[in-house]
Chain A
Amino acid sequence: MKARIHVTLKPGVLDPQGKTISHALGALGFEGVEEVRQGKYLELDLKESDPEKARAEVDEMCRKLLANTVIENYQVEIEA
């Protein structure tokens, strides 16, 4: 079973890297980009075969380590 995790900065948290990427896109002629927010993507291979148990476990992993919930939000997708 696979878990796909997106970790993103909370709204309002400064993202200077996102801003720089946005400027770079503008310099390449992509003028329609209003904002870029950079985040992280993690893929986990899990032994667990019950999707509900897997989700609960990954949720705990995110809260304890994979995301810093002071500054980051996370989204978990479980794929059988």
Chain B
Amino acid sequence: MQTAVIRFPGTNREKDVVMALEHATGHAPRVIWHKDASFPDVDLIVLPGGFSYGDHLRAGAMAAHSPVMKEVVRQAEKGVAVLGICNGFQILTEAGLLPGALLRNAGLKFVCRDVCLRIETAESPFTTGYQNGQVIQVPVAHHDGCYYADDEELKRLRDEERIAFRYCSAQGGQDNRSNPNGSRDEIAGILSASRRILGLMPHPENATEPLQGSTDGSGLFDGLTRALN
């Protein structure tokens, strides 16, 4: 499986993603600077976390309209899988590849801690490495992660089983600490209608080595590798 990781000015989590992808696929991803003229043939494009363009105007807004994103949209239309993590999720919503928007955290603070996620659907290349209802522990690190979609959009996401991950307690339920940012319907990650695009606020790439305190994120990268090979 060949992969590409896109880097914008202000991206800062690309190395973490590169390590996780290399570990899972056995191949080093191509790291694409946003101004690179050519785009490689790949099976998966990753938009990593960070603060592209300093979060100016709105998080992800500037990156979403950069030339390289036009290429990402073209690739996505061809069926190439796209994964947006944290700032990458914000960019995907701003670019219109995923519905909704990410607002300032309800508690107004930058939240950096481990959270628990419940796998809501294993029916996607991104979640096929997990079981429905499985609870995993991965970190979040963001200021603008409060997922918002209007009632109609939320209903569509639920009806089409496109909510991939929900924040939950360690037991899989809800408590007053489980939702770190006030996201509607506890949403941590969603799929496109094609199920080939995933955006999520948490960082599965930072839970792929025992040293990181959890290896629960490996399921995403290992599952992806099996699904896309």
Residues on A lying within 8 angstroms of B by beta carbon are 12-14, 16-17, 20, 64-66, 68, 70-71
Contacts and interface: CB of A to CB of B under 8 A. Distances in A.
Contacts of B182: 14, 16
Interface residues of B, number: 20
B137 interface: no
Contacts of A13: 103, 148
A16 B101 contact: no
B61 A65 contact: yes
A42 to B, nearest CB: 9
B205 interface: no
- B interface, by DSSP: helix, strand, loop or mixed? loop
Contact of B65 (A17, A20, A64): A64
A59 B193 CA distance: 29
B98 to A, nearest CB: 11
B65 A71 contact: no
Contacts, number: 36
Contact of B108 (A12, A16, A64, A71): A16
Nearest to A12: B150
B227 interface: no
Contacts of A66: 57
A13 B150 CA distance: 9
Contacts of B107: 16
Contacts of B61: 65, 68
Contacts of B108: 16-17, 20
B58 interface: yes
Given A65-B61, A65-B65, A70-B101, 19 more contacts: A12-B150, A13-B103, A14-B103, A14-B106, A14-B182, A16-B104, A16-B105, A16-B106, A17-B104, A17-B108, A20-B108, A64-B65, A65-B57, A66-B57, A68-B58, A68-B61, A68-B101, A70-B93, A70-B148
